[in-house]
Amino acid sequence: MRFNIGKPDIIPRLPEIAPVTAIPGNIDHAAWPQDFRETAYVELLGRRFFVIHDRNELALGPAEAGHDVVIFGHSHRPRQETIDGLLFLNPGSAAPRRFKLPITLATLRL
C-alpha cells in the first residue's frame, strides 16, 4: 500500500507549486508506478521525514531510525498525533473526494 498518485501525468506538473517527493499507492497498479520507491526519506530544515503510504506497514521504528516526522496516507483521513516526540501526519487527500471524506491538505511549519 502506498500513496495514491492516480495518474502519472500529475507528477511533472507538481514542481510548479513546490518541490515534490512522491511514492505510489494502492490504486497505482499499472507499470508506471515501478519508477517510484515504496517509501522515501526527506531531510528539510534539519528535520528528517519518512514517507510511507500505510502507517501500519512501518517495519522499523521511525524514532529509532532518527526520523522526526512520519508522513502517511492510505485512509484519506486527516490525522496528526505525536507519540514519544515523533509526529505522525496524514494530510488527508487533496484529490477528488473519496468516500464521504473532506478534501484536505496539510501545511507543516518547522
pLDDT by 10s per residue, the chain, length 110: 334 555 667 777 878 888 877 776 655 555 544 566 677 888 989 999 998 878 777 776 766 778 899 988 866 778 899 988 889 999 887 766 667 878 878 888 88
Q: What is the pLDDT of residue 88?
A: 92
CATH number for the region 8-90 comes to 3.60.21.10
Under DSSP, the state recorded for 34 is: G
Q: Residue 4: its pLDDT value, please?
A: 56
Nearest residue to 37 via CA among 45, 46, 28, 103: 28
- Residues in Cβ contact with 66 at an 8 Å cutoff, skipping those fewer than 6 apart: 48
Query: How far is CA 35 from each of CA 31, 80, 87, 93, rounded to the nearest angstrom?
Result: 8, 29, 28, 22
